Amino acid sequence: MLTVAALLFCCAYASGMLKNVAPHSWHPIQAAPVSETGLGAPLGPRIFGVAEPGNALPRWFRGTHVHPALLMSFQSWYGEPLPTRTLAEDQKVGVHAEMITWEPWRSPPIGSSAAVQYAAQKGYTNKDIASGRWDGYITRWARAVASFPSIRVYVRFAHEMNGHWYPWSRGARAYVAAWRHVVKIFRQVGAGNARFVWSGSWGQGPPDAAWRKNLMRYWPGQAYVAVIGTTMINFGGLHTHPVGVYKQRIRLLHRLLHKPVMLTEVDTQQQGRIAWMLHLARYAAHTRWLKGVVWSQAPSYGQGHMTTGNMDWQISADQSPQALQAFRELAGDVVKPVRPAGISVTSGGGG
């Protein structure tokens, strides 16, 4: 039987009260023309994505009534898996964009300490990659991507590199060399549907010189990056991060690097989720150069060594009509045309 809350939501949905959100994200983005290199073409429409596999999308949609234009997944290099199955699932459900967070390591168990995660892994170093040790795998992977020309693949390679919890953070110069080497292989293969996403952990608060200097040591250069991005997670507890504390650094890097910005891994604790999602919706609605938001409620390594709030809740199973409406407002404000500043989003409470 339906609960009262669920019944009210269904009535609201059927009446068209929620039409301002869901229809905008029902249609996957269309493939745009690529540039000569195939790795730097501008983005088309704004994108709302989720970290879900294609075979789970129907169930996720039933819980949210939002159909994302992009799906995101994580893939480590251990065992040298190819993206073929992931992209085939996308194709089957009619999604034409995938972001793969491509991690050059043998991933430790979720919950490992930051020190364990940061430890250098023999054979997987930036120098190993730049020297050609992985060329066979990278080539096969790039060819697999190229074999799905109707799907735009955002390669979020070696993310959050400016932190101290992943081994590829070791040695900024070697990181840059590895990045460029990987991109060159994709170009040689002709993977024109690939887009490389330089996605850091840009942190919170006013940008300072030391932060900027450290981050820019990892910058591969304009010719090797299509999109810049950052993680935006409100863990709660001692790591409660309102949306506003991210804005200054995001704006600075957009102006500095002249690249479109995507929020590549977005999540929030359960407490205060409604207000947090609505704040992010307002930000997306008024930020013209923000090209995408990827909602990810997958388990995070950060939870293993930080004091957090409840990060285990899932929007697809949330029984609060207010929370679901806030999420739909977020999805809708990401993909629809940017509103003039000063027009606010209706508040749905602090849930």
Q: H or E stretch including 72?
A: strand 70-76
Which contiguous run of DSSP H or E holds residue 185?
helix 172-189
**Is the distance from CB of 46 to CB of 291 less than 8 angstroms?**
yes
**Are 347 and 325 contacting, i.e. CB atoms less than 8 angstroms apart?**
no
Residue 116 DSSP SS3: helix
Residue whose structure tokens are 């929370």? 323
Position 23 pLDDT exceeds 50: no
Cβ contact 155:100 at 8 Å = yes
Q: Look up residue 215 and give its DSSP letter.
A: H
Q: How confident is the model at residue 19 (pLDDT cuts 50, 70, 90)?
A: very low
From CA 186, how far away is CA 188, in angstroms rounded? 5
Task: Categorize the per-residue pLDDT at 302 as very low, low, confident or very high, splitting at 50, 70 and 90.
Answer: low
Relative orientation angle of helices 172-189 and 135-146, to the nearest 10 degrees: 50
Query: How confident is the model at residue 303, as a pLDDT?
Result: 62
pTM confidence score: 0.85
Q: Tokens for 84?
A: 């073929």
**Domain range 4-335, CATH architecture:** Alpha-Beta Barrel (3.20)
d(CA 10, CA 5): 9
pLDDT tens digits along 332-343: 999 987 655 443
Cβ-based neighbours of 116, under 8 Å, separated by 6 or more:
108
Could you give the 3-state DSSP secondary structure of residue 278? helix
CA distances from residue 33 to 40, 43, 44 in whole angstroms, order as listed: 11, 10, 9
Task: Single out the residue of 58, 84, 53, 55 nearest to residue 70, CA to CA.
Answer: 53
Instruction: Quote the pLDDT of residue 339.
Output: 59
Spatial separation of the C-alpha atoms in residues 105 and 102, rounded to whole Å: 9
The H or E element containing residue 258 is: none
- Of the chain, the percentage scoring pLDDT greater than 90 comes to 76
Write out the two tokens for 331: 């999805």
Q: Report pLDDT for 30.
A: 32
